[in-house]
């Protein structure tokens, strides 16, 4: 009997060893990746045909005041407060858009779908959205298009045919390169890191992570990817997940990536409370206001983010252009108020532009 038990234990140990030997689940999607060059050689963008959707029998809205609802992933956090401000600023500047923000209190796709469906029923001219799940949100967005409503995404995309245009804050492979190169600079080319993201289905984060994996394998192949954990855009859970990673991996863990504006400051807080500043680097995407204490204390060296106020502002102008008919399939640019002309990329995406790097020299110049 003792030999049977011993054999079972050995088999379990062997199985566990095999599972650890397998490549770690990264949280990235399975779409094709396009890692940038390891040096500073810029990528060449390939022209693609328009792949967005079209509203059915949309009324003539040119120059008319339109009623618009903005449905972000969730409300009540700094990032989407900033995008909402940008939308409100653009609406006020245009004078022909009545815009409001109404999103779920948690990053829950079912709640987001219900909200959008309610606005289709009550009647709006346009919908702005940041998707919690690109596939699950598609049917209700297609329903909106079928009702003649103009639909534009920002921050986190849906499947392309479920909206007309998507305002992309930055190219996914560009964010990936900036993030991985920053981490490699801080922890070295053989350091081990982990990731705190929201969910594995959140489209923008899954794309960034997939591109990060591809770029890291190409340009920093000896870096070690320990684990990716979900934290649901929740501050307490993000802190707890970061703390768990610190305790689980000990001295092996040299860096934590924060993939959301909630996860990055929470990771910095966990590193600070664990007295690991200088031992565990934090690299991530976050609003400057949330990161000022950690950058000022020297626990975080830099933060990468586009201006979310500008992102919301651009999305509102894109929706206005779509409603007016001045942005149509085949366009190469769109006018976006004070932001000037923004380029069309990837068939049906509008590119906001280069992200901003916040550090101790400039972070106090920003207030969002």
Question: Tens digit of pLDDT for each residue in 252-283?
Answer: 999 999 999 999 999 999 999 999 999 999 99
Q: Which pLDDT score is estimated for 198?
A: 94
Q: Which residue has the higher pLDDT, 241 or 28?
A: 241
| pLDDT tens digit sequence for 159-175 | 999 999 999 998 889 89
Residue 79 three-state SS: helix
- Examine the domain organization and report whether 150 and 241 are in the same domain: no
Structure-token pair, residue 81: 């407060």
Q: How many angstroms separate the CA atoms of 367 and 160, rounded?
A: 33
Q: How many angstroms separate the CA atoms of 131 and 188, rounded?
A: 35
- Examine the domain organization and report whether 192 and 165 are in the same domain: no
- Examine the domain organization and report whether 94 and 178 are in the same domain: no
- Examine the domain organization and report whether 208 and 289 are in the same domain: yes
Backbone angles phi, psi at 107, to 5 degrees: -75, 70
Burial 160-192 (b: 16+ CB within 10 A, else e): bebbbbbbbbbbbbbbbbbbbbbbbebbeeebb
CA 156 to each of CA 33, 50, 131, 140, 312: distance values in angstroms, whole numbers, following the listed order: 17, 18, 5, 16, 12
Say if residues 86 and 310 touch (Cβ distance below 8 Å). yes
72 within a domain of the structure (yes/no): yes
Number of domains in the chain: 2
- Examine the domain organization and report whether 203 and 293 are in the same domain: yes
Q: Which residues contact 3 (CB under 8 A, 6 or more apart)?
A: none
Structure-token pair, residue 352: 């906001």
Q: Which residues contact 205 (CB under 8 A, 6 or more apart)?
A: 27, 156, 197, 198, 199, 259, 260
For the segment 145-152, the average pLDDT, to the nearest whole number, is 98
Structure-token pair, residue 306: 């586009």
Q: How many CA atoms lie within 13 A of 74 on its CB side?
A: 19
- Examine the domain organization and report whether 117 and 216 are in the same domain: no
- Examine the domain organization and report whether 175 and 294 are in the same domain: yes
- Examine the domain organization and report whether 286 and 269 are in the same domain: yes
- Examine the domain organization and report whether 339 and 255 are in the same domain: no
Pairing of strands 302-305, 356-359: antiparallel
Task: Give residue 198's Cα distance to chain centre.
Answer: 9
Burial 64-78 (b: 16+ CB within 10 A, else e): eebebbbbbbbbebb
Which DSSP state fits 285? B
In what helix (H) or strand (E) does residue 227 lie, and over which residues does it extend? strand 224-230
361 within a domain of the structure (yes/no): no
28 within a domain of the structure (yes/no): no
Say if residues 8 and 178 touch (Cβ distance below 8 Å). no
- Examine the domain organization and report whether 297 and 181 are in the same domain: yes
- Examine the domain organization and report whether 80 and 206 are in the same domain: no
- Examine the domain organization and report whether 235 and 149 are in the same domain: no
DSSP 7-48: HHHHHHHHHHHHHHHSPPP----SS---PPPSSSPPPPPPP-
260 within a domain of the structure (yes/no): yes
For the segment 348-367, the average pLDDT, to the nearest whole number, is 89
Counting other chains too, the contacts that 271-277 makes at CB distance below 8 Å and 24 or more residues apart are: 271/242, 271/246, 271/299, 272/297, 272/299, 273/243, 274/243, 274/246, 276/246
Q: Whole domain around residue 133: which residue ranges?
A: 66-169+307-353
Structure-token pair, residue 73: 């992933």
Per-residue pLDDT at 50 exceeds 90: yes
Where on the phi/psi map is residue 230: left (φ > 0), alpha (ψ -120 to 50), or beta?
beta
Structure-token pair, residue 63: 């120059």
136 within a domain of the structure (yes/no): yes
Q: Which of 184, 170, 215 shows the shortest CA–CA distance to 38?
A: 215
Q: How many angstroms separate the CA atoms of 343 and 128, rounded?
A: 19
Q: Rounded to 10 degrees, what is the CA torsion of 95, 96, 100, 103?
A: -130
Q: Which pLDDT score is estimated for 16?
A: 32
| pLDDT tens digit sequence for 189-239 | 999 999 999 999 899 999 999 999 999 999 999 999 999 999 999 999 999
Residue with tokens 């709640």: 111
Per-residue pLDDT at 367 exceeds 90: no
Give the CATH number, domain containing residue 319. 3.40.50.2300
Backbone angles phi, psi at 32, to 5 degrees: -60, 145
Which DSSP state fits 222? T
54 within a domain of the structure (yes/no): no
Q: What percent of the chain has pLDDT over 70?
A: 92
Backbone angles phi, psi at 147, to 5 degrees: -90, 10
50 within a domain of the structure (yes/no): no
pTM: 0.82
The residue from 249, 284, 305 where one domain ends is: 305
């Amino acid at each position: 009997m003792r030999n049977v038990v011993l054999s079972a234990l050995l088999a379990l140990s062997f199985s566990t060893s095999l599972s650890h030997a397998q490549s770690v689940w990264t949280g990235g999607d399975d779409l094709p990746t396009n890692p940038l060059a390891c040096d500073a050689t810029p990528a060449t963008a390939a022209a693609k045909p328009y792949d967005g959707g079209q509203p059915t029998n949309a009324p003539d809205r040119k120059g008319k005041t339109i009623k618009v609802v903005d449905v972000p992933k969730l409300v009540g956090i700094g990032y989407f407060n900033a995008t909402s401000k940008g939308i409100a600023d653009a609406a006020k500047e245009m004078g022909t858009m009545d815009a409001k923000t109404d999103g779920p209190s948690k990053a829950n796709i079912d709640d987001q779908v219900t909200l959008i469906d309610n606005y289709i029923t009550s009647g709006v001219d346009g919908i702005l959205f940041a998707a919690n799940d690109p596939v699950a949100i598609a049917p209700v967005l297609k329903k909106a298009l079928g009702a003649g409503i103009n639909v534009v995404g920002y921050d986190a995309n849906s499947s392309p045919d479920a909206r007309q245009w998507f305002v992309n804050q930055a190219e996914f492979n560009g964010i990936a390169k900036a993030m991985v190169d920053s981490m490699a600079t801080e922890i070295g080319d053989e350091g081990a890191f982990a990731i705190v993201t929201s969910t594995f289905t959140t489209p923008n984060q899954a794309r960034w992570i997939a591109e990060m994996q591809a770029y890291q394998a190409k340009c920093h192949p000896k870096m070690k990817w320990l684990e990716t954990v979900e934290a649901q855009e929740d501050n307490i859970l993000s802190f707890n997940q970061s703390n768990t990673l610190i305790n689980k991996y000990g001295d092996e863990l040299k860096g934590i990536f924060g993939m959301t504006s909630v996860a990055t400051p929470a990771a910095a807080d966990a590193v600070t409370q664990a007295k690991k500043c200088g031992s565990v680097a934090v690299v991530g995407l976050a609003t400057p206001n949330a990161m000022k204490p950690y950058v000022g204390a020297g626990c975080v060296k830099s933060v990468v983010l586009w201006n979310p106020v500008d992102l919301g502002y651009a999305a509102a102008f894109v929706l206005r252009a779509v409603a007016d008919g001045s942005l149509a399939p085949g366009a190469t640019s769109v006018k976006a108020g004070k932001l000037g002309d923004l380029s069309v990329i990837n068939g049906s995406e509008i590119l906001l532009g280069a992200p901003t790097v916040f550090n101790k020299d400039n972070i106090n110049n920003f207030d969002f």
